[in-house]
């Protein structure tokens, strides 16, 4: 079953009188449970592509069907609903809410789903990423690697059907990055989540089942291991 289906996806930005084509007729399908990496040079459109796939962004032409739902036809509120129901996202710069503690950050998606056990579930997730004793710390009181572990716990909180990670180790040192990679792959394996990983790191990309190479907003290669 196809969990994500992208057809003729294009995105342009207007800057002054010039039109910048960032994604140019992109097509691919991802099967449920698949793991894949999107690689390409800086500025090639990877983050833009991920944002459209995850329903974070809009304003494209073509179609994005996520778990049977056509995102391009939806309002922002409808997309927010789908995101909370089906999608997890890990960002390069963590994107934790600064006024909330580690525990409260992980609770956000659970509370949006009105889960009564949000606090307990969030605590369990923090323990899973090795931060059970840091629940009451704020993001500024945590190292980069710890913040990314909180964001991983948050991303897995809703048991998403599909997890998008945009250069999740890009802001971390090598050793911390390796720990974060392992955590993402381990949790992914445990939950059987579909994983779409954007990375510069070809060694990391090689740990997935499939690598899509993108350049200038076009897919150059789509290689299954
Ligand atoms: N909001 C925006 N307005 C104008 N141009 C943008 C915007 N966001 C991204 N871009 C441009 O789109 C291109 C692709 O960016 P991005 O998707 O972030 O690439 P990557 O993640 O591969 O580095 C770049 O040339 C970037 O400058
Ligand atoms: Mg990017």
Of the candidates 166, 168, 162, 163, which has an alpha carbon nearest to the alpha carbon of residue 147? Answer: 168
Q: Closest ligand to 214 CA?
A: 1
- Ligand 2 (ion): which residues have CB within 5 A? 46-47
Q: Which ligand is nearest to the CA of 57?
A: 1
- The pTM (predicted TM-score) of the whole model is 0.95
Instruction: Please tell me the residue having the least CA distance from ligand 1 atom 12.
Output: 22
User: Can you tell me which atom of ligand 1 is nearest the CA of 167?
Assistant: 21
**What tokens were used for 63?**
């179609």
Order of all β-strands in the sheet with 218-224: 87-90, 162-166, 194-198, 35-39, 210-215, 218-224
Q: Whose CA is nearest to atom 27 of ligand 1?
A: 43
Give pLDDT tens digits for 48-105. 999 999 999 998 899 999 999 999 989 999 999 999 999 999 999 999 999 999 999 9
According to CATH, what is the number of the domain 2-224? Answer: 3.40.50.300
Closest CA to 4 of 210, 183, 152: 210
Residues with CB under 6 Å of ligand 1 are 13, 15, 20, 22, 40, 42-48
Query: Closest ligand to 216 CA?
Result: 1
Ligand 1 centre from 93 Cα, in Å?
Answer: 16
**Which ranges of the chain have pLDDT less than 50?**
none
How much is the pLDDT for 59?
85
Please tell me what DSSP assigns to residue 56: S
CA distance 94 to 105: 11
Give the residue, by CA position, lying nearest to ligand 1 atom 16: 45
Would you say the C-alpha torsion 164, 37, 176, 156 has a positive or negative sign?
Answer: positive
């Amino acid at each position: 079953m196809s969990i994500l289906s992208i057809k003729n996806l294009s995105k342009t930005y207007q800057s002054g009188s010039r039109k910048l084509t960032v994604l140019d007729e992109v097509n691919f399908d991802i099967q449920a449970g698949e793991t894949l990496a999107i690689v390409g040079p800086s500025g090639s459109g990877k983050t833009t592509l991920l944002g459209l796939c995850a329903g974070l962004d809009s304003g494209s032409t073509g179609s994005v069907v996520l778990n049977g739902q056509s995102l391009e036809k939806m309002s922002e509120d409808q997309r927010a609903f789908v995101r909370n129901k089906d999608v997890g996202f890990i960002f390069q710069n963590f994107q934790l809410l600064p006024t909330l503690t580690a525990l409260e950050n992980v609770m956000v998606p659970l509370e949006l789903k009105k889960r009564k056990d949000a606090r307990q579930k969030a605590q369990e997730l923090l323990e899973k990423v090795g931060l059970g004793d840091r629940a009451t710390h704020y993001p500024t009181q945590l190292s980069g690697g710890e913040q990314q572990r909180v964001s991983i716990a948050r991303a897995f909180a809703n048991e998403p059907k599909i997890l998008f990670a945009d250069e999740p180790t890009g802001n971390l040192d090598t050793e911390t990055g390796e720990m974060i990679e392992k955590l993402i792959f381990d949790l992914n394996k445990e939950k059987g989540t579909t994983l779409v990983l954007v990375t510069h790191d070809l060694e990391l990309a090689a740990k997935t089942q499939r690598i899509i190479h993108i350049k200038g907003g076009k897919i150059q290669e789509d290689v299954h291991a």
